[in-house]
Amino acid sequence: MKVIYERMLADLGLEAEACPLLVGELATQQDGGTCSLHNSVIATMPLVIPTAYVVSSLGCPCNFDKLHFTAEGYRELGRRYAQVMLRAEKVSEALTGGKKKSKKK
């Protein structure tokens, strides 16, 4: 994931501080998600990519297949993405002095 993120930033001429990466959890074990063990890997993303933020899925209802969220679950997850992005934007502005930086090519 780190390699893909760094290549994407390089290809687009962006600085990581100005372009946070949001990573959403899969349905949690508490909510019956069958792939919930992968959330432990997702939790490590900010350790590998300092500008990464994890979006919690705890309490978001999952569908009968235990892989996907219900419509209600996706709406809640979307609200959480928005909250995390607003928080990440504040950090980004603090790191960049309020300016969107791009790399010189």
Tell me the per-residue pLDDT of 66-98, one tens digit each, with 9 for 90 and over: 999 999 999 999 999 999 999 999 887 887 777
> Is residue 99 a part of any domain in this protein?
no
> What are the Cα distances from residue 52, in Å, to 43, 56, 62?
10, 13, 24
> Is residue 78 a part of any domain in this protein?
yes
- Give me 38's structure tokens: 């992968």
- Rounded Cα distance between 17 and 102, Å, is 10
Q: What is the pLDDT of residue 4?
A: 96
Query: Between these two residues, 50 and 99, which has the higher pLDDT value?
Result: 50
> Is residue 39 a part of any domain in this protein?
yes
Say what the pTM is.
Answer: 0.84
Question: Which residue range forms the structural domain that includes residue 29?
Answer: 2-11+18-89
pLDDT surpasses 80 at 104: no
Query: Between these two residues, 105 and 11, which has the higher pLDDT value?
Result: 11
Query: Between these two residues, 105 and 14, which has the higher pLDDT value?
Result: 14
Counted domains in the chain: 1
- Rounded Cα distance between 8 and 50, Å, is 16
